[in-house]
Every structure is written in structure tokens, then in C-alpha cells.
Structure 1
Amino acid sequence: MQEALLEVKQLKKHFPIEGGVLKQQVGTVKAVDGVTFTLHKGETFGLVGESGCGKSTTGRMLMRLLEPSEGEVLFNGREMTSLSKNEMRHLRKDIQMVFQDPFASLNPRHTVEKIIEEPLIVHNLGNKAERKKRVKELLEIVGLSSYHAKRYPHQFSGGQRQRIGIARALAVNPKLIIADEPVSALDVSIQAQVLNLLEDLQKELGLTYLFIAHDLGVVRHISDRVGVMYLGRIVEMADSEKLYLDSKHPYTQALLSAVPVPDPEYGKDRIILTGDVPSPSNPPSGCPFHTRCPKAMDVCSSVVPEFREVEPGHYTACHLYEEDHV
């Protein structure tokens, strides 16, 4: 039995919609609406879905950059959502984040040395000489040179800037790294280099990753398990290979049918979803996917499907796999 590092239970984030002269609440955006999963030590858990499904919001709540509306987050058995700011600051030494945009997440007025050194200063790690040495070590670890330390972010390419972001995250020896679409802003060839770097660092340093992305090809390459999100909820979760070879939920099947295959001779049935993604401020009743689902039944429009295990280690929220319909 693998040891759980992070446990997320019924996590929700609802944003109020204000209107009128008095700015009264007139509605709610359910950005994340009951996400539950467990992340084991040393594994990579991929969280995927369309833009706006709530995956980045989930990652930011785990860092407490956004405060959850409801739910529990346990890190090494310790409940995080009730911690004070000071307690959370100490815990962030073990949980670091790599952001999507490597330019926006780096201070343009600071040198690379100062950017990477800052977490060491915040957590009071080492004296000045030790911190300078650590910065040079980190630059070498992520594939840059120590002479890059005196340069500024604008003097680097996108891939190099993301390596700097990874070095900053590694500075305090974290146990968990939340990578929020870390390669989506990079060229394909650079994406492969950064993914390989993350895999090498995981093996060398024993890291655990929550890898957030919308590119299913990237997620398959790096993830041990995958959770598929739709409209603020996880609708399917399984081992990476099992999910890609035998997906259960119609939404996952539609996403996988859209993944390009590098073989012009290979014919592939494309599942075209009709309609637009419903608004999280006014989600449909019953199954949130039923308005676009090619396999929708009468029960789907009125009853929310239970997220349940349909095969060992394979979970889905779909009425097709309930005993009445199997």
C-alpha cells in the first residue's frame, strides 16, 4: 500500500457574483465543486480537462493562494485549510509551485540569483555564502550555467525561464511540486526537454508531482495516474495507461479521440461534442455533462451520478456503469 502524501476531500471553491447598486450577491460561480483524490509519495498525478474546468483553481487552493469554500486538504496527515498564515508559510517549504507563464511568474527587476535565493531567505536557510553556492548548484541541476545567475529574466528564452522557475521551486527541497501547465507556453521540442528534466529530478530527489495540463499527450508521458475534470468535478480517474486504453466516461473518450496520431495512414473515429461548455454559474441539473453527452439517458438530466469504482483502481461518475444499466 503506497503512503499518501496529499489527501483532498470534497474540495470546493465558489465565487460570489455581485450585482446591482448595493453589490449584493446574485449568484455563485462553482469553479471547483467537490474534488476528491489522493496523491501518493513519489508519484505523478495528472489533472486534465478543458480550459475553465477548475484544475488550476484546484492547484491554487492546495497552495492556499486561494482559500477553499469547503472541503479538507491533508498534507502528511496534517489538515491544511485551518492553518494560520504563519503555519502555512512553514508548510510551504514542503509544497512549491511551478506556474504556467514563466515570464509573468519571475520578477523582471530581479536577477536570476535573487529570484532563486528568495525562498532561502524567506525560510531562513543558510548564510549568504551558502545561499550563493546553493543558487549555482540549482542552476546546474536544471541545465543552466552558474554564470546565468547575474542575468535578468528577459535575457532568457521561454524554456530557460521555466527552468529558472523549476530551480526556484527546488530551492527549499520540497516534497510536493504543483506544476500548473508548466509546458503549455513552450515550443514542442522545448516541452520535451522540460518534461524529461522533471522526470529526472523526480528520480534523483524523490519528488511528488501534481501535474496540471490540458494536453493529454503530455499527461500520458509523465503521469502515473490521471484525473479528468469537467465543470469543477473529477469525472474519471485511473492509472495512466488504463485510462488511455480503456476510458469509461464519454467525456474522456471524446477528449482522447481529439488527440493527434502521428501516422497519416491510421484512421481514427472522432467524437464531436455538440453545444458549448455550460456556465459554472448555472450548471445543468443531474450529470453536468449530459447536455453534450452522445450517450445521455433520461436519468442523466435529473440525478447526479456517483463517483464510484467500476474496476480495480478505475473510478468514474457515469450512470452507464451503475448496476441498473450495466
Structure 2
Amino acid sequence: MDQTKEPLLVVKGLKKHFPFKKGMFSKETGYVRAVDGVDFTVYRGETLGIVGESGCGKSTTGQMILQLLEPTEGEIWFEGRNLSTLGKAEVRTLRQHLQMIFQDPYSSLNPRMRVEEIVAEPLRVHGTHKGSELKEKVVELLRLVGLDAHHMSRHPHEFSGGQRQRIGIARALALNPSLIVCDEPVSALDVSIQSQVLNLLKKLQKELKLTYIFIAHGLPAVKHISDRIAVMYLGKIVELAERDELFANPRHPYTEALLSAVPIPDPTQRKERIVLQGDLPNPANPPSGCHFHTRCPYVQDVCRQTAPTLTEGTAGHFVSCHFPLGQS
């Protein structure tokens, strides 16, 4: 990715801590650190993949970017504007440029609404189209995602999972957004359908000059669509690099373990699987020092005591580790 490109989104020190309560009087006794200090930039026209285990904070990050959740700390700058300083009316207007494709195509569509109503809803809410223009726009959007006009009168239960996700994509495109957060958009689909949806997203990105944040827990899907990839672990980004660089030269032990689990299509080749010991720590009580030290096969004393910072090594390759892999 050409780093001279124009930044569309800049995230600085982003945190989201959810309080939990106990006792008769619901006294706050601690916080779940879902996102615990995240920094990254998304450049116009690129796809930034965010990958990690369930519970690492990647979906929460996406929801904060869309202002669906209020950050505990940090700043989100979109097109040069700090979203935390905007009023409700300004955020409502800005939402035309920030959209989301949800993970579950079954629960994200209202079963009582016809497809025409689902896709037209953003246009009605923002008052951009009315009457015959509204219907023509819905037909255009459906054709853009591979559906036809006769699908407008049907309800979501009459479609397959892949078709429902296409309806969700059409709805996300309705207001001509600049940035779309794709929150695991293919994880609920059959493997045979996943590649079709990924190819559709890539085609739409090229035609409409879209920018994506693509959230997933599976590396193959992220590799297929992303220009750069951020790896998250327990609320923090532990590695960030261009796609090919990350797959060829992982610098963080967690990334190394994730890549070791990706199947190789050639049956004559074998690679050693790295099995991480233990479970993901509790985000309400994260380990001291490096959050990954309880499962890291290369842990040393400093890792238990001091948290590493996300530091750039080779150009554009950032890693949060005291002893990055491949370092002489």
C-alpha cells in the first residue's frame, strides 16, 4: 500500500471498557477491557483487514468507528473531522458516508419487511430519494449486487444465506458511503458462497471506489481481500503490515501461530502447527506486561513486566513485541 495515499480514517488511542456490577446495589467492581488502546490509519481506496480470536475486540472497534458505541478514550478522525466532537445531527449526516455489512444475514434483515423496503430504508431516512426515483434506485442497487427487480417483493426468508448477504450489501451501498465496515460478512455463509461474496466486494470496491475495514477471524478470507492486515489480541493490535509481507514474514509469535493453522492446498507439503497453550485471558483481568506472555512460546522475564509498544521495524511493518521474530 502506497503510504502517500490520502488518509480517510485515523484512530488514536481508542479504548472501550465495559463496567460490570455485582451485589444488591449493582456496585461497579471492574471493567472488561474490550479495546485497550488501538492506533491505525485507513487510506482511501484500500481494504484494512482486522483479524484475531473471538473476544479480541475487533467488532467493538468497528462499532466505535460507526458511532454505534461511545469510546471510553481515544479519537476517531474521519475525513479530517474528530467524530467525538460532533453533535447528534452532525453524526446523523455523517452516517451517510459510514456504513456496515453485518455478520449474520439472517438476523440483520427485518423478516417483516420486503426487500424493497429494506434497501430503501436508508434512502427514506435521509430523504435522498422519493417516489419513482426511490424505486429506480432500489432496482439499481439490487442489480449491482447480482439480484433482479422481481426480488423486491419478496421477504428475507425466501432467500438463501448468500442472497441475504447481497441484500445487506445493497442496503450498505444505498447512500454512496466512503467507508464500509464489513463485520465478518462471510463467516455465516457456506464455503462455496464465501468466495462469491468476497469477489463481489472486491468488484464493488473497484467500481465505486470504496474503502473497507474487513473484520474476520479467518486468515484466508482476510488474505483474499485485504491490502494491509492488523492482528488483534486481547484488545490491542500486536502486528500491522501489508498482506504479502505479513504472510511471508510474521514478526509476532501470535501471528506466527495463526498462520501455522492455515491449511496448505498442496498435499505434498507439510508444516508444523503451533498450538498455543492455555485459553485467551480474561479481558477484565488482563496479564501484566505483554498481554500475550501467558501463551507465548518465547516468553522472557521482561515480557511479564513491561508492555511492548507497537513499533515500526521494516517500512510499514509494525509489531508489538520485545523480541520480534526474525530479528538478529
Task: Please classify the TM superposition score into its range, dividing by the shorter chain length.
Answer: over 0.9
Give the drift of 1:103.
1.1
Which of 109, 131, 136 is the matching residue for 1:106? Answer: 109
Work out the CA distance in 1 between the residues paired with 2:324 and 2:184.
31
Preserved contact between residue 9 and residue 41 of structure 2 (Cα < 8 Å): yes
Preserved contact between residue 14 and residue 31 of structure 1 (Cα < 8 Å): yes
Does residue 184 of the first structure (1) align with residue 187 of the second (2)? Answer: yes
Preserved contact between residue 287 and residue 303 of structure 1 (Cα < 8 Å): yes
Give the drift of 1:321.
3.8
Which of 149, 154, 157 is the matching residue for 2:152? Answer: 149
The aligned counterpart of 2:321 is 318
Which of 221, 226, 229 is the matching residue for 2:229? Answer: 226
Work out the CA distance in 2 between the residues paired with 1:125 and 1:306.
45
Structure 1 runs of 4+ with >6 Å offset: none
Work out the CA distance in 1 between the residues paired with 2:130 and 2:190.
38
Preserved contact between residue 181 and residue 214 of structure 1 (Cα < 8 Å): yes
The aligned counterpart of 1:84 is 87
Q: Where do residues 64-79 of structure 1 align in structure 2 (5 Å cutoff)?
A: 64-79=67-82
Give the drift of 1:82.
2.3
The aligned counterpart of 2:269 is 266
Work out the CA distance in 2 between the residues paired with 1:321 and 1:244.
15
Work out the CA distance in 2 between the residues paired with 1:135 and 1:187.
27
How many residue pairs are counted as aligned between the two chains?
324
Q: Where do residues 33-48 of structure 1 align in structure 2 (5 Å cutoff)?
A: 33-48=36-51
Work out the CA distance in 1 between the residues paired with 2:131 and 2:35.
42
Preserved contact between residue 9 and residue 42 of structure 2 (Cα < 8 Å): yes
Give the 3-state SS of the residue equivalent to 1:272 in structure 2: coil
Preserved contact between residue 310 and residue 321 of structure 1 (Cα < 8 Å): no
Give the drift of 1:17.
1.0
Which of 22, 26, 37 is the matching residue for 2:25? Answer: 22
The aligned counterpart of 1:296 is 299
Counterpart residue type for residue 7 of structure 1: V
Work out the CA distance in 1 between the residues paired with 2:149 and 2:143.
7
Deviations 1:62-92 (A, max 9, x none): 1111111000000001001222222111000
Give the 3-state SS of the residue equivalent to 1:237 in structure 2: strand
Work out the CA distance in 1 between the residues paired with 2:241 and 2:53.
18
- TM-score, length basis structure 1: 0.98
Please, which moves more after superposition, 256-265 or 288-297? 256-265
Give the 3-state SS of the residue equivalent to 1:320 in structure 2: coil
Preserved contact between residue 307 and residue 316 of structure 1 (Cα < 8 Å): yes
Deviations 1:211-267 (A, max 9, x none): 000110010010000000000000000000000010000000000000111222111
Preserved contact between residue 293 and residue 303 of structure 2 (Cα < 8 Å): yes
Alignment identity in percent? Answer: 60
Work out the CA distance in 2 between the residues paired with 1:239 and 1:23.
46
Gaps of 5+ in 1: none
- TM-score, length basis structure 2: 0.97
Work out the CA distance in 2 between the residues paired with 1:83 and 1:146.
38
Work out the CA distance in 1 between the residues paired with 2:295 and 2:283.
15
Does residue 93 of the first structure (1) align with residue 99 of the second (2)? Answer: no
